[in-house]
Amino acid sequence: MRVRPTAGPRQLAVATSLVLAGTLLTACGGGDGKPTLNWYINPDGQDTLNQLAEDCSTDDYDIEIQLLPASATDQRTQLARRLAAGDSSTDLMSLDPVFVPEFASAGWLEPFTGDLADEVLDDDVLEGAAQTVQWDDQVVAAPQWSNTQVLWYRKSLAEAAGLDMNQPVTWGEVIDAAASQDATVGVQANKYEAYVVWINALIQGAGGNILDPDTVEDGRDAKVTIDSDAGKAAAAVIQKLADSGAAQPDFTTSNEGTSLGQMYPDDGPGEFMTNWTFVYQNYAGAVGEAGGPPDEAALDDLGWARYPQTVAGEDSAPPIGGITIGVGAFSDNVDFAQEAAVCITSSEAQTQLAVNEGLMPSRQSVYDSDALKEAYPADLLELWRDSVDTGGPRPKSAYYSQISSAIQSRWHPPTSVDPNTTPKRSAEFLRQILSGEALL
């Protein structure tokens, strides 16, 4: 008994050092001193991203893919831990737009300057995507693909309810139309980030903001503006849906996937649903399968329209998502990494991502390309492009994750939202959180 415990750790130590030595040797390897750029990606569209890494490797450097965890929180903390420690091997990163202000403010992203900045962010980049990569008047990331939400619905349902979908519709009209036909409205209202996406879009659709855009980059000193008419209008929409028969049974725990099945139920008129761009391929690729349209005619019945208005007559602000490419500030090969970032976000790369993986471009010219027109209906491409171009970003703050959690804690469950109290209570809590006077 006494011998074994000491032998164990020793063997372990030997094994560990051998493994370590092995990794170090491989890390130093590469033979002729050709550097390897590590590109940390999230799991979306891996096949094409691997292909891009290969295609964009040059005689000067190789790009190697490193996979991040599936959950956005884990992706963020893993990258942050590396960067906070000044990791020189984090060269390229796939970043969710809301991480960009946090990372840029911490000085973890190497800004693109001069010609490179012009190349990464030229006139071809759609406005909604362009906004997400700028921080403190600098270009801190390169847009790679863009996500946005539109209103998906059954044409037969809208027709039966007498809703003219050629005109912009409001949330109130959509909810009433669904309720009148015993149909439902699918949203994302679980206690998570996509619920904040919905709230933010509703508020911006009424001409307001969670935080004042002019001071949002000031971090703790940002002005909280959620307690406004726009905030009340947003709360009124959520309350209306919660109180109406159009709310889905799992309304309070709904996410991007939960309402997909309601579009083509076994019996019933279907639904209206605000959701991301993946919905089209989800249904188009599932004709005749469980949860998908039973036949081609049913797929033709799938309609799409611009994100609903919060207030009649005022343009809606569709949510913006997607992925941008950041270059690690502590990278040993910043120049190469920036060169590679330009390559993996080029028009060609964006075309491949859109056609192969359904990840929509952030460049105008790619939407106009023949490859995309072949893969998607022309009016859908136009709708997505306009939505990305005129979409509204979430608050660009170094404290975004706290802001998001604070909103979630005061606006969830959606069944408790009240225009008279919720915006006010959340504004007070946000102020406390930003000034460090409350715990989350």
Q: What's the Cα-to-Cα distance from 293 to each of 76, 196, 269, 329, rounded to whole Å?
A: 36, 30, 12, 48
Q: To the nearest whole angstrom, how small is the minimum distance from the Cβ of residue 170 to another protein?
A: 34
- Pairwise CA distance, residues 358 & 355, whole Å: 6
Nearer to another protein, 365 or 402 (CB): 402
- Give the CA dihedral 416, 276, 347, 87, nearest 10 degrees: 50
Q: To the nearest whole angstrom, how small is the minimum distance from the Cβ of residue 259 to another protein?
A: 21
Q: Strand ranges (DSSP E) for 231-349?
A: 271-275, 302-305, 320-327
Alpha-helical regions (H) of 29-107: 46-55, 72-84, 99-105
Nearer to another protein, 180 or 215 (CB): 215
Nearer to another protein, 285 or 436 (CB): 436
Nearer to another protein, 219 or 249 (CB): 219
Nearest to 391 by CA among 325, 304, 316, 280: 316
Contact residues: another protein, CB under 8 A: 73, 77, 80, 84, 102-103, 105-107, 219-220, 398-399, 401-402, 405, 436-440
Nearer to another protein, 156 or 405 (CB): 405
The one-character DSSP state at 199 is: H
Nearest to 305 by CA among 159, 169, 207, 206: 169
Spatial CB neighbours of 145, under 8 Å, sequence gap ≥ 6:
45, 322, 323, 350, 353, 354, 359, 360, 361, 362
Tally Cβ neighbours within 10 Å of residue 46. 13
Q: To the nearest whole angstrom, how small is the minimum distance from the Cβ of residue 47 to another protein?
A: 30
Is there a contact between 271 and 259 (Cβ–Cβ < 8 Å)? yes
Nearer to another protein, 67 or 438 (CB): 438
Nearer to another protein, 110 or 271 (CB): 110
Q: To the nearest whole angstrom, how small is the minimum distance from the Cβ of residue 193 to another protein?
A: 13
Q: To the nearest whole angstrom, how small is the minimum distance from the Cβ of residue 106 to another protein?
A: 5
- Pairwise CA distance, residues 88 & 332, whole Å: 6
Q: To the nearest whole angstrom, how small is the minimum distance from the Cβ of residue 188 to another protein?
A: 18
Q: To the nearest whole angstrom, how small is the minimum distance from the Cβ of residue 79 to another protein?
A: 12
